[in-house]
Amino acid sequence: MHLGHNTNSLMQKPFSTLSKLEISATYCTMSETSSSSGHSALRPVRKGTKSCVECRHRKIRCVFRPNNPSTCISCFSHGIRCASQAETEPVPPTHARMNLSERVAQLEKDLAALRASNDITPRKNSFLTNGKAHFDPSTQPANSFGTSSELPRPLSALSPTAANNLPILSLFDNAILTTSETNNAIYDSISREFGTGSLRPVNYQSTPHFRMSRIKRARICEALTDLLPSQSAMCEILEIGGIWWDLLRILHPYMCCEDDKMSIQSYVLLALNQDNPCILGSALSWLATSMQSLPMSYDTGHLNLPIPLNDLIQHYVSTIDRLIVFDDEISVSLEGIECILLQGQFYGNIGRPRKAWVAIRKALSNALLLGLHKTTSQASATPSPHHQRRENVWWHLVQCDAYLSLMLGLQNFTKPPLAETQGKLLAGPGIISCDLYRKKLFTVISKIGDRNQAMQISSDTMLTTTMEINQELDALSRHLQPISWNPIMPSQTYSIGDALGNYESTITHFWHYQAKAYLHLPFMLQSPSSSEFDYNRTACISGAREVVQVYIRMRELAGGRINLCRVVDFQVFMAAVIVILGLLGYRPTSTPRNYSQEAEDWNLVYQTMEVLKVVSAEPENLIAAQCFQALEALVSIANGQFSTNGEGSGRKIFIPYFGIINVAPVSSFMNGTTQGAAPHLQEVDLPPATSSQANNPIIDIDVFNAFSFGNGLQNLNSVPQSGVPNDILLPDTLAIDIDQDWSWMLNTDYQMN
């Protein structure tokens, strides 16, 4: 029989009258037609069939998730494609039949297309109306986040000379052996995340590693979304407490998302519909931060939260730590680094700088593995949002590490880039942006940290080094933008923009003057009677005075509407102690006393105490209460309220993060060093002292339980108490002991499962 006859004529004949050869010819013709049409043909199945192919083979029930109707639960957990029974068997991919040169050409074409699409800024997401509309994931583009799993750039592609930094590759790129950057495997997409790109195996979805990875990620996503509030409750929480989203994305653009117009409600609701654990973790971190930033007067009863608010925050934070932060397989990605960074930000907000420091160091280690430190060496006139996002994440990490390390007296993690350390400060008196100023200031702070570490070994030449750093800091200050204080409008016209209008400039000034105080502090505390260090004393006290003034204005601008980072309360406490020491005897000896300036300094101290007393009323903000108590004790010593009974002389003071110290005035001070300052103490109303403070120890705690200071606060009438027994600040002794030593690692909550 001739096989080229018309197929339609065969279809019209009864099936029973067709020969085997005719049936075979008809099937081949239909297969060719369906293949040429570009999609799989639908084969007839029994009416009512809903199970996918995999569930039919496994003989299990096929159940689809409401938020992902295209993939059933079984296929999602096994990491395989969910195919309908009506579809024909998939045709093997074309690249399986390509030779090597064709596959390389196809790979280069795909890379060029992906890079071109990455340079396009994602469109603004508009699936929310007033932040509370119904969320439809189908309306969102696939690359709304610009995640690294969609376009992870090879590490060596960040720099043409990256191979020179790797010892093993330098052996193959020298005067004897040379490599080609275009044909070398390290310069293509082979370093992508497993399971993406054109070089993946044809049957990669059936490999044990891929299936186990998908199962693990699915379980993590399920655990992260275990106790989610309703969508309306989340939108309300994010709208009221989402101040940190606007603030951090002003300081660090493109954080977590390359769409600069995306709101926090849009991001969180979109992220919760992703199957990337790190994106889910970031969304929960933003939600926990927003919950922590809710006003004190806000009632959460109508939100119908699954568990109490503080317990819910603690659940989110501990789950992210356990499942993402301490899992290298999950966290070593751009989204994972951003998730850890948000965890560190949260710990800083609640006043746990050592825990924040550990999180930042973890993120920095992952960033080095991903090559984010090489991003700053790229020079591009028009960098893509993805490139800016990587660079901003790196700078965010190194800045946080520099400031936390300086405050805690620890070594910096990384050095500034060579171009920065060579001091390419802008010529002329021109004002530079706050972002560029903070990057320049980071180089100075790094030098201060190195100086402090060197002083522990030898302090002979450190004064010269200090003056050199001081000259660099003074030269940089000429480019600092002045602060223009915009008053906060009444509550009827209050908006987030009013609070954030000057915050970037304000925090930059705060860091600048804090660096100045830290720079001269070691030499300020040298012999008070020596005039050799008068310049250092003047500069240190002046910097501390400016820190206090900026802090008071920051609190005035916040107006109780913004929960500032609680580490700031400790930083201003340190600045206030410097001012008090200057008033008590560490003033310059080569110049006459300025009684007018001393009165202004005492006024600043009292204003700081008033602010800390008000701030201590915030939920679980016991750091401010500690700082207030310590300042109150120091002022009482300055006012002559100390005992002279030998061992009973002095006062016990609890220093936040560092434990109890016993402060006693020296003999020269007790003999009347501050007699001249006493009249000025009467000019300003001191906050009412605690009546029971003189008879009871301020803190009655051992070193191991230094953070469990509840016993010391029970008898204090001036400091409000927290009504929550298991608050997020003090979950248990071992969990918070990281702010004393490393025994926190014994806690099972932080161990790998």
Are residues 654 and 646 in contact, defined by beta-carbon separation less than 8 angstroms? no
State the number of CA atoms in the 13 A half-sphere of 600 facing the CB: 10
Q: Indicate if the pLDDT at residue 184 is higher than 80.
A: no
Min mean pLDDT across 204-208, 253-257, 671-675 is at 671-675
Say what the pLDDT of residue 312 is.
93
Q: Is residue 382 part of a domain?
A: no
In tens, the pLDDT along 512-542 reads: 999 999 999 988 888 777 788 888 889 999 9
Mean pLDDT calculated for residue range 665-678: 51
pLDDT band per the 50, 70, 90 thresholds, residue 173: confident
The percentage of the chain sitting over the pLDDT mark of 70, rounded to a whole number, equals 61
Rounded to whole angstroms, the Cα distance separating 229 from 227 reads: 7
Mean pLDDT calculated for residue range 537-559: 87
Say what the pLDDT of residue 514 is.
93
Kindly list the distances between the CA atom of residue 365 and the CA atoms of 165, 278, 325, in Å, as whole numbers in the listed order. 17, 17, 12
Mean pLDDT calculated for residue range 466-491: 77
Return all residues near 685 (Cβ < 8 A) that are at least 6 apart: 606
Are residues 295 and 240 in contact, defined by beta-carbon separation less than 8 angstroms? yes
In tens, the pLDDT along 93-140 reads: 555 556 777 777 778 787 777 766 554 433 333 333 344 444 444 444
Rounded to whole angstroms, the Cα distance separating 506 from 503 reads: 5
Say what the pLDDT of residue 349 is.
86
Q: Is residue 17 part of a domain?
A: yes
Say what the pLDDT of residue 324 is.
93
Residue 361: in which H helix or E strand, if any?
A: helix 353-370
Tokens of 679: 């009249």
pLDDT band per the 50, 70, 90 thresholds, residue 616: confident
Say if residue 194 is exposed, middle or buried (CB neighbours under 10 Å; 0-12, 13-18, 19+): exposed
Domain count, the chain: 1
Rounded to whole angstroms, the Cα distance separating 583 from 638 reads: 9
More confident residue, 627 or 693: 627
Q: Indicate if the pLDDT at residue 360 is higher than 90.
A: yes
Say what the pLDDT of residue 364 is.
93
Q: Is residue 24 part of a domain?
A: yes
Say what the pLDDT of residue 317 is.
94
Rounded to whole angstroms, the Cα distance separating 422 from 146 reads: 34
Q: Indicate if the pLDDT at residue 276 is higher than 70.
A: yes
CA 659, 662, 668: angle at the middle one, nearest 5?
A: 145
More confident residue, 290 or 566: 290
pTM over 0.75? The answer is no
Q: Indicate if the pLDDT at residue 41 is higher than 80.
A: no
Are residues 22 and 34 in contact, defined by beta-carbon separation less than 8 angstroms? no
Are residues 491 and 499 in contact, defined by beta-carbon separation less than 8 angstroms? no
More confident residue, 714 or 279: 279
At residue 270, the 3 state secondary structure works out as helix
Q: Which residue's structure tokens are 């009444």?
A: 490
Q: Is residue 581 part of a domain?
A: no
Say if residue 375 is exposed, middle or buried (CB neighbours under 10 Å; 0-12, 13-18, 19+): buried
Mean pLDDT calculated for residue range 637-660: 67
Say what the pLDDT of residue 343 is.
94
Q: Is residue 339 part of a domain?
A: no
Look up residue 545 and give its DSSP letter: H
Q: Is residue 26 part of a domain?
A: yes
DSSP string, 664-702: ---HHIIIIITGGGHHHHTSSPPPPPPTTTTTS-S----
738 φ/ψ angles, rounded to the nearest 5 degrees: -60, -25
Rounded to whole angstroms, the Cα distance separating 144 from 258 reads: 8
In tens, the pLDDT along 396-444 reads: 999 899 989 988 888 888 776 544 443 444 555 677 888 888 888 888 9
Rounded to whole angstroms, the Cα distance separating 634 from 663 reads: 9
Q: Mean pLDDT in the chain?
A: 71
pLDDT band per the 50, 70, 90 thresholds, residue 588: confident
Tokens of 108: 């280069």
Q: Indicate if the pLDDT at residue 51 is higher than 50.
A: yes
Rounded to whole angstroms, the Cα distance separating 307 from 616 reads: 25
The percentage of the chain sitting over the pLDDT mark of 90, rounded to a whole number, equals 19
Q: Give the structural domain span for 13.
A: 1-39
Q: Which residue's structure tokens are 């071109």?
A: 116
Q: Indicate if the pLDDT at residue 492 is higher than 60.
A: no
Min mean pLDDT across 135-139, 185-189, 451-455 is at 185-189
Q: Which of 452, 162, 125, 363 is nearest to 263 (CA)?
A: 125
Tokens of 339: 């998730």
Identify the sign of the CA torsion 559, 564, 566, 567: negative
More confident residue, 383 or 732: 383
Rounded to whole angstroms, the Cα distance separating 307 from 315 reads: 10
Q: At what angle do helices 622-638 and 567-584 cross, to 10 degrees?
A: 0
Say if residue 97 is exposed, middle or buried (CB neighbours under 10 Å; 0-12, 13-18, 19+): exposed
Q: Is residue 287 part of a domain?
A: no
Q: Indicate if the pLDDT at residue 338 is higher than 80.
A: yes
Q: Is residue 424 part of a domain?
A: no
